A and B are shown apart, each in its own frame.
Chain A
Amino acid sequence: EADIYQTPRYLVIGTGKKITLECSQTMGHDKMYWYQQDPGMELHLIHYSYGVNSTEKGDLSSESTVSRIRTEHFPLTLESARPSHTSQYLCASSAPTGGTEKLFFGSGTQLSVL
């Protein structure tokens, strides 16, 4: 079983608030990712990291920022939340398996901005 955790599971906040979504994994994986997903839709990569102090933006433009100070921790921050940020945010880490990467996902954070 994968050991990757996201908190909070659900978050309802007002416009303009600063929020941080937490993601931690205990598997020692170097690669970590943040995906954004609207209900029943595809996952869009918004950030990824290859290791400590390495972060890159993904395919989908996002106003969020990330940091990777420790291998196990990959938090995502929104400085000023807006209703357009309402979505599910999924964190993942990966390990190489047979020439490809196997992703392990957290349970997600469902964010609603009022």
Chain B
Amino acid sequence: GIQVEQSPPDLILQEGANSTLRCNFSDSVNNLQWFHQNPWGQLINLFYIPSGTKQNGRLSATTVATERYSLLYISSSQTTDSGVYFCAVPPQGNTPLVFGKGTRLSVIA
């Protein structure tokens, strides 16, 4: 089945720093999602991004579908950005999401 790999597995940032999280996937997909799981366990949709670039405030994401990777950019990080960031893809058109193992981000003041 499809493999979804995220890097780095862990990241510690000083508040105000910028970071880039990466998601590689092993097969063609027609969608990709980024999620943030906050320290309380809630999973929050960040982006649906099968291709191209999207921005939402301090976060932006870029997916290069032909090269099978996606990047999540966090600028001017804040302590509230801490948590685990997952990317997930549906292996085929109509199948549930396959998740990467996540990047655990800790932003310290």
Chain B associates with chain A: no
